[in-house]
Amino acid sequence: MLPRDYTPEAANRRIADLEAQISRLEETNNLLLDHFRRWRYNAYANIVRIDLLPWDKPLPEINRSGRREIVKSKLR
């Protein structure tokens, strides 16, 4: 998005906004890295093998109808 105001004050405000955004993104990135390190350590400590995890397993479908599904095998 290009600024419409080309004054030095507008440029200084834009720079300050971008610097604040960078700080927020760096903080978020550091928090996510901390989470990942914790998960990695816990997986290691509990002998979880990465090569055995189902990484490509699809997420379960969400029932948004509000009705409960009846499993056919339970009806027999």
Long-range contacts for 8-17 (Cβ within 8 Å, ≥24 apart)? none
- On whether residue 5 sits in a domain, the answer given is yes
How many folded domains does the chain comprise? Answer: 1
- On whether residue 61 sits in a domain, the answer given is no
User: DSSP for 1-28?
Assistant: ---S--SHHHHHHHHHHHHHHHHHHHHH
Structural domain containing residue 1:
1-53
- On whether residue 65 sits in a domain, the answer given is no
- On whether residue 11 sits in a domain, the answer given is yes
- pLDDT tens column, 30-73: 999 999 999 889 888 888 887 777 777 887 888 888 777 665 65
- On whether residue 36 sits in a domain, the answer given is yes
Query: What is the model's pLDDT at position 75?
Result: 52
- On whether residue 64 sits in a domain, the answer given is no
- On whether residue 59 sits in a domain, the answer given is no
- On whether residue 74 sits in a domain, the answer given is no
- The whole-model pTM stands at 0.58
